Amino acid sequence: MRRSCSAPAVVCAWLAGALLSQGQTLILTDFEGPWRPVSNNPRGAGELPQGWSDNSNWANLSVRHERLLDEGSSYLRTTVSSLETGWGQLQHSLPRVSEQAYYRLRVRVRSEDLLGATFGIRRGGAPYNYLWQVRTAPGPNWRYFTFYARLSPADYDVAFYVALSGAGSYDLSAFHLEKLSEQELLDEFSRNAAGLPKNLFRNTRFPLGLPAGWMLDRDSSDTDAVTLDVEDKALRIQGAKRWQITTEPFAVPKPRTPYTASFRARGTASGRLQVISDGAVLATRNYQGTPDGERLSITFNSPVLVRAQALRLEGTGELVVEDFQLEEGTSATEFSPPACELHLSTASPLRLGFDDEPLSVTYSTLGGEVCASVRLKAETLAGDSIDLPVESSSGEADLPAAYGAYRVEGWVENASGERVSPYQEITVYRLRRPRYWMEDAPASPFGIHTNSTTRHILMAKAIGLNWTRLHDAGLQYIGWYHLERKPGEWTFYDDDIRRYRQYGMKVLGLLSTAPEWASHFDRPRNGYFDRFYQPRDLGQFANYVRTVTERYRDLIDTWDVWNEPWNAGWWAVRYDDDAKRYVTSEQPHSDFARLHRVAWDTAKSVAPSLTILGINSTTGSTGSDWTRGVVAAGGLDTSDVLCYHQYTTEPLGFARDAAERGWRDAVEPAMTGGGLDRPAWMTEGSPVYGLSGP
């Protein structure tokens, strides 16, 4: 049975020939057996395999279920149309989850309309919470998926649900859900680990620099704050400030078994190693580099059913690393390289090219005579596969001239045409050259939130984004909490602010946060929201506003004030320990209008030409109420621009769609005489939030 696998190559290899434990079957759909007409949905039609029912009668849509044939075998096609709200959904009964257990789901699916679907076990009634869910995006060809889940006991009825992501058709031809004990699951993993190579890393050395899938942390600016250079087959990392490199994700084949990751390192850097997994740290150790070098190692055990692990290397100073190894056991052994190793890269660190320049993938192999030939193919979003010309064991392969994304997959074969290396892949983009590349785009309405790192700024510019808003990403350069941690002791991030402007990125500064000493903070509750308690003394806040607007008056000419004050988490005066939530004052609208007046008066006294955004609203009744309250408190008088946030969760592009309704919610309460006498900007949001696709 072929399985689709998005995990690293070493995991896909053992899944491909997996020896499965025999579990307790909960659902095994017989698509050749009896089918039953759809009867419980007036807008539903067709028939379903026995045991399944339509669960879309609550949604505003039409749905049809059909029994079709593919090469003589039956399958189910579900087609959703006339979608206005909700989604198409199938349901199958299940016994209650009475004890902690493991579940294995195997399905065969496709969608010629490129729909995604969520498979999961969910509470049958309100509040409709999922015990487990996973999303598939199979594409137009049949694909097998195998999923595992661990469920905790629940004292209520549950069922299995398949929820489609939009309008179109989705096909299902195999469905098998089983219940496994933990030992059955561990035995299955152990059987399938047999025959794997000693070294489970597919990238062990660095002939082309940092491999695809490996990552320099988002806070480190490449080419200046941190440099990465190739030294023979080693990687030289150098940075005066802390840097962090994370390997590509990997998944050890045997949970609850010790594994050791190791590599050779030399240099003067000091720092730490960590093995991370699904947001948790599995192991950590400190290190101190030496000029002569040594093998650094770290041992860890993986929990059952985590998605993946990764090795994280942090340091300050210079370190040269090579010969990475991941092996079963409690200690590092002699380095054992793969028989063949393929590396892919591009000339541009952005992994993109414009239409007026050549675009190619650089490839290089490591290994002996068994590595006879390289194979490369490029796949497009449309599903087309293009074989790329390869002439030797290293070189460059040109990509097509057409615009779009290319997922380049490569491997090495021996003289008999057998694959002898792990698969390697890299995604490359061909784009139109932006009209304002690395310079300001006049009157551009498009922006993003990004840190001040060279690669991320240029990626944003490459797709036509010309503003960055300094909230979350970038807030550390400008927020009061970060700049004045102690009264009168200031830390500034001038290089980071200048880097934005160096590459033509306009900055929407954010006058927000308050240090603990200056806010209503009393003790730690949440490391993120604790920064957003209201300031106690608006005179101190004015001093912060004056300091940053004066310092950056030649770099930042547009300022937002605070973030989402309509949400108590960003505008609290206290924390309710009993209710476990942040609480505003009784007059949050007036509080914000007063703070905004201080920001306006102070910034305008520095430079009257500065543009100050205000109201800071959102959509829905929350937004209408907030706008109305802040306007009543005089907030519109201190706003050059009205701003609001909107995340839409439904299709757009028609009259009275979510974008129009959201704009009216946020803006109409500020209108006078049937119109708005100043611009309205949507400064945070997404048109695809909550929507899914392939």
pLDDT score at 691: 55
**Is the distance from CB of 179 to CB of 101 less than 8 angstroms?**
yes
What b-and-e string marks burial along 507-517, b requiring 16 or more CB atoms within 10 Å of the CB?
Answer: bbbbbbbbbbe
Q: Strands, E, within 611-659: which ranges? A: 611-617, 641-647
Query: Cis before residue 127, ω within 30 degrees of 0?
Result: yes
* Cα 364 from Cα 344, distance rounded (Å): 7
The tokens describing 36, both together, are: 């039953």
Strands 117-123, 234-246: pairing kind = unpaired
Answer left, alpha or beta for residue 266, where phi above 0 means left and psi between -120 and 50 means alpha: beta
pLDDT score at 690: 59
* Cα 411 from Cα 415, distance rounded (Å): 13
Distances (CA, A) of 30 to 21, 73, 74: 21, 11, 9
* Cα 200 from Cα 337, distance rounded (Å): 10
* Cα 324 from Cα 203, distance rounded (Å): 7
* Cα 555 from Cα 607, distance rounded (Å): 12
The single-letter DSSP state of residue 445 is -
Q: Strands, E, within 415-536: which ranges? A: 424-431, 447-448, 467-469, 506-511
| ∠ CA 498-500-505, rounded to 5° | 135
Q: Give me the average pLDDT of each 10-residue run along the chain (694 residues).
A: 35 44 90 94 94 95 96 96 92 95 95 93 93 91 94 95 93 96 91 90 96 93 90 94 96 95 98 96 98 97 93 98 98 95 94 95 93 96 92 93 97 96 96 96 95 96 97 97 98 97 98 98 94 98 99 98 98 96 97 98 98 97 97 97 92 86 95 89 86 47
The tokens describing 416, both together, are: 């008999």
Question: If DSSP codes are grouped into helix, strand and coil, which group holds residue 535?
Answer: strand
* Cα 278 from Cα 150, distance rounded (Å): 15
Report the 3 state secondary structure along 87-120.
CCEEEEECCCCCCCEEEEEEEEEECCCCCCEEEE
pLDDT score at 50: 95
CA neighbor of 375 nearest in space, from 358, 391, 360: 391
Report the 3 state secondary structure along 175-206.
EEEEEECHHHHHHHHHHHCCCCCCCCCCCCCC
Task: Spell out the domains of the chain, with CATH numbers in brackets.
Answer: 9-192 (2.60.120.260), 215-337 (2.60.120.260), 342-431 (2.60.40.10), 509-686 (3.20.20.80)
pLDDT score at 455: 95
Q: What pLDDT digit, counting tens, does each position of 314-363 carry?
A: 999 999 999 999 999 999 999 999 999 999 999 998 999 999 999 999 99
The tokens describing 373, both together, are: 């030939």
CA neighbor of 137 nearest in space, from 155, 115, 159, 158: 115
Distances (CA, A) of 550 to 356, 546, 556: 41, 6, 10
- pTM of the full predicted structure? 0.83
Neighbours of 289 (CB within 10 A): 21
Q: What pLDDT digit, counting tens, does each position of 114-148 carry?
A: 889 999 999 989 999 999 999 988 889 999 999 99
